[in-house]
């Protein structure tokens, strides 16, 4: 009954708003010929449900961009953020019924965390069904296309059976074009003077063993940091992120943690030799004093200090983290010979060069949801539709032609020379100043759906073309994005009876880390191996061997279609 009443209310709200818009308001046509209904100064609220808050201008109604949007379509949205757990905030919001018009929240898929809260809210009738609404707004209608999102995401989390044909979430921050898939630039990086001093070409370091030898040479040389202190050989960023980069050369090119064993049965990563060997390699680095023993519990402030001062000779994770750390301390400019450079990139175990693997479309993403209390769903979707047009994106991100940006020979916006020069010196101040005018990411980041900025403008973000870091841009070419077509085997795992209950312990990353990190600090390799074997035993014998039954099920399902990929 609750669900039915809520749906009826949502429809009444929607129909009433549609009628009012058509009867009372005009039409705005943008520079590309798209038309939008014009509203009479509709004010909406939006929650950016991401722990860490949200930076907004002091005046969200009267800033220049908000004013121009309102002059075009008559809608203003004011945003707020949170400083608490996303799951906790969603639970509180739905329990209280005190909900904004628009919510942007994590929706990583499956039946846990924020996804579970949102799916429950949909089942309780608290969200508006978007299935018949979104197709009416052409700039966001492609959000559900395969290639933008994956077939798995569509079937498991958008059109999941319990939704009964409704669509309650609008995928957000997905790539509307392959050129707009974010290249995160993961890898291993070394302080620039180390290979020069040792006479090593870092591009030739393509295997874990070669990396080990390189680290050993650096350890024996006795490098100092910028302050003359002894160095640590390798470190990570927060909580060990992401020490696995040091062992990527042992892996194969695949999307999932499953693989097909020599016996023709599907197996899971921790049960393979590869998983064992990767963890023993990390044990070796720790045991021989080459991997920072504090890295597994560190925070980014401490990591930035170690990297920023050149105390760590090797780093990992996203390249931008190492670059930014040296900029924070000034090392980047004061000692350019110490700028971190890529190692390799390494190759897969079969010798193929490492790439950034992506599915054919994103699986799990931020989403936009609209509570049934949304005061004006048509105005909300019109706003989002406009802000996903070429004109709307250009306004939100670049500002005003002749003022903050000019058009290049290809008709693409480029921030003007003065702003670009300032940005290279102090990007934080420039971003803060632009935000006060409404320019930048404060609107765009919360409401963009299928990103096409690179396809449209030749750069993913303003200033990229002129102010992008040359080291990072070159690395993107060395380790490009590559899509793997096919249907990920993970698409069928949730069909196993009792999957959700089993998943709570079988895929508990904290549980796995409690074993692996204990193994890293073992006194001998034999002791480390024994601890890792304990984890395997836990997986294979818990609840009477439930996990092995699960793998048998996945193996059976593997034979049901010919486009599965691992």
Any idea what the Cα angle at residue 81 is, between residues 404 and 467, rounded to 5°? Answer: 30
| pLDDT per residue as tens digits for the range 255-269 | 999 999 889 999 999
Query: Is it the case that residue 6 has pLDDT exceeding 70?
Result: no
* Residue 460 covered by a domain: no
Cα–Cα distance measured from residue 58 to residue 47, given in angstroms and rounded to the nearest whole number:
17
What CATH number is given to the structural domain containing 313?
Answer: 3.40.190.10
* Domain stops at, among 484, 518, 539: 484
Cα–Cα distance list, 480 to 405, 463, 473 (Å): 29, 21, 10
Q: Which of 452, 484, 516 is the last residue of a domain?
A: 484
Give domain status of residue 317, yes or no. yes
Percent of the chain with pLDDT over 70: 96
- Residues 353 and 373 both lie in one domain: no
Q: Is 406 part of any domain?
A: no
SS (H, E, C) 528-551: HHHHHHHHHHHHHHHHHHHHHHHH
What's the token pair of residue 526? 């034999």
Q: Is the dihedral of CA 539, 88, 56, 126 positive or negative?
A: positive
Query: Are residues 350 and 252 located together in one domain of the fold?
Result: yes
- Cα distances from 298 to residues 134, 293, 305, 434, in angstroms, run 44, 9, 11, 34
User: What pLDDT does residue 491 have?
Assistant: 80
Q: Which helix (H) or strand (E) holds 190?
A: strand 189-191
pLDDT at 3 over 90: no
Q: Is the pLDDT of residue 439 over 70?
A: yes
Are 390 and 450 in contact by the 8 Å Cβ rule? The answer is no
Which residues fall within 8 angstroms of residue 255, CB to CB, at 6 or more apart? 357, 359, 484, 488, 490, 565, 566
Does residue 78 lie within any of the structural domains?
yes
At residue 21, the pLDDT reads 36
Tell me whether residue 412 is in a domain: no
Q: Answer yes or no: is pLDDT of 362 > 90.
A: no
- pTM equals 0.74
Residues 7 and 79 placed together within one structural domain of the fold: yes
Is 479 in the same domain as 492?
A: no
Res. 8: pLDDT tops 60 = no
**Residue 199 pLDDT level (bands cut at 50, 70, 90):** very high
Q: What is the pLDDT of residue 417?
A: 94
Q: Is the pLDDT of residue 314 over 80?
A: yes
Structural domain boundaries, residue 558: 487-565
| Three-class secondary structure of residue 237 per DSSP | strand
Token pair in block for residue 321: 């983290």
22, 138: one domain? yes
Task: State the Cα–Cα distance between residues 11 and 133, nearest whole angstrom.
Answer: 11
Count of domains for the chain: 3
Does residue 443 fall inside a structural domain? no
Over its C-alpha atoms, the chain yields an Rg (Å, rounded) of: 26
pLDDT at 522 over 70: yes
Helix-strand-coil percent breakdown of the chain, rounded to 5? 50, 15, 35
Residue 456 lies in a domain: no
Q: Interhelix angle for 525-558 vs 509-520, to 10°? A: 150
Angle, vertex CA 446, rays to CA 440 and CA 448, nearest 5: 85
Q: Decide: 150 and 359 in contact? Cβ < 8 Å.
A: yes
Note the pLDDT of residue 177.
83
Same domain assignment for residues 80 and 131? yes
Quick one: 253 and 349 in the same domain?
A: yes
Give the residue from 488, 397, 369 showing the smallest Cα distance to 94.
369
Q: Are residues 62 and 164 in the same domain?
A: yes
Q: Are residues 193 and 132 in the same domain?
A: no
Residues 194 and 142 in one domain: no
Number of H helices, E strands in the chain: 22, 21
More confident residue, 244 or 15: 244
Same domain, 145 and 219: no
**Is 283 exposed, middle or buried (CB count within 10 Å of its CB: 0-12, 13-18, 19+)?**
buried
Is residue 509 predicted with pLDDT exceeding 50? yes
Residue 130 lies in a domain: yes
Length of the chain: 566
Which of 417, 452, 484 terminates a domain? The answer is: 484
Res. 18: pLDDT tops 60: no
Please state, in angstroms and rounded to a whole number, the distance separating the CA atoms of residues 76 and 70.
6
In angstroms, rounded to a whole number, what is the distance separating the alpha carbons of residues 292 and 557?
43
Least reliable range by pLDDT among 202-216, 234-248, 349-363 = 349-363
Query: Does the pLDDT at position 476 exceed 90?
Result: yes
Check residue 1 and give its pLDDT.
Answer: 39
Q: Are residues 109 and 123 in the same domain?
A: yes
Closest alpha carbon to 518 in 537, 540, 534, 541: 534
């Amino acid at each position: 009954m609750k669900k039915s009443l809520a749906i009826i209310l949502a429809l009444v709200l929607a129909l009433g708003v549609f009628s009012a818009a058509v009867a009372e308001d005009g039409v705005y046509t943008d520079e590309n010929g798209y038309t939008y209904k014009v509203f009479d100064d509709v004010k909406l609220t939006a929650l950016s449900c991401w722990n860490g808050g949200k930076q907004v201008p002091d005046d969200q109604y009267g800033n220049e961009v908000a004013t121009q949007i309102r002059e075009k379509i008559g809608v203003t949205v004011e945003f707020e953020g949170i400083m608490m757990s996303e799951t906790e905030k969603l639970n509180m919001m739905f329990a209280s019924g005190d909900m904004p018009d628009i919510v942007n929240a994590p929706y990583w898929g499956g039946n846990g965390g924020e996804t579970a809260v949102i799916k429950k809210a949909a089942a309780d009738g608290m969200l508006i069904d978007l299935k018949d609404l979104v197709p009416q707004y052409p700039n966001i209608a492609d959000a559900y296309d395969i290639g933008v999102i994956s077939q798995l995401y569509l079937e498991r989390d958008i059109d999941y059976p319990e939704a009964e044909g409704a669509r309650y979430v609008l995928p957000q921050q997905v790539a509307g074009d392959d050129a707009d898939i974010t290249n995160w630039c993961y890898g291993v990086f070394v302080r620039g003077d180390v290979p020069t001093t040792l006479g090593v070409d870092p591009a030739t370091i393509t295997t874990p063993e070669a990396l080990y030898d390189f680290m050993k040479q650096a350890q024996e040389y006795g490098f100092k940091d910028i302050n003359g202190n002894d160095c640590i050989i390798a470190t990570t960023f927060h909580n060990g992120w992401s020490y696995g980069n040091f062992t990527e050369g042992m892996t194969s090119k695949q999307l999932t943690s499953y693989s097909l064993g020599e016996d023709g049965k599907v197996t899971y990563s921790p049960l393979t030799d590869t998983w064992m060997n990767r963890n023993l390699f990390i044990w070796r680095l720790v045991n021989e004093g080459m991997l920072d023993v504090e890295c597994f519990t560190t925070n980014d402030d401490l990591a930035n200090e170690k990297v920023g001062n050149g105390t760590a000779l090797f780093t990992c994770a996203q390249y931008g983290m190492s670059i930014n750390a040296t900029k924070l301390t000034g090392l980047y400019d004061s000692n350019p010979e110490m700028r971190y450079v890529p190692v390799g990139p390494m190759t897969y175990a079969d010798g193929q060069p490492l790439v950034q693997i992506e599915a054919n479309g994103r699986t799990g993403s931020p989403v936009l949801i609209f509570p049934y209390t949304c005061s004006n769903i048509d105005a909300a979707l019109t706003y989002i539709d406009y802000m996903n047009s070429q004109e709307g994106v250009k306004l939100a991100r670049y500002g005003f032609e002749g003022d903050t940006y000019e058009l290049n020979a290809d008709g693409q916006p480029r921030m003007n020379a003065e702003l670009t020069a300032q940005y290279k010196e102090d990007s934080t101040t420039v971003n803060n100043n632009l935000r006060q005018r409404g320019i930048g990411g404060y609107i765009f980041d919360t409401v963009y759906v299928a990103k096409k900025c690179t396809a449209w403008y030749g750069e993913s973000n303003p200033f990229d073309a002129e102010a992008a870091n040359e080291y990072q841009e070159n690395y993107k070419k060395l380790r490009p994005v590559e899509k793997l077509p096919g249907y990920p085997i993970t698409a069928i795992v949730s069909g196993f009876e009792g999957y959700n209950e089993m998943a709570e312990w079988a895929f508990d990353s904290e549980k796995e880390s409690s074993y692996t990190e204990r193994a890293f600090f073992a006194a001998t390799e034999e002791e480390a191996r024994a601890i890792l074997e304990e984890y395997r035993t836990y997986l294979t014998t818990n609840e009477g061997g439930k996990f092995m039954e699960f793998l048998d099920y996945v193996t059976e399902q593997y034979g049901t279609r010919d486009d599965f990929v691992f």
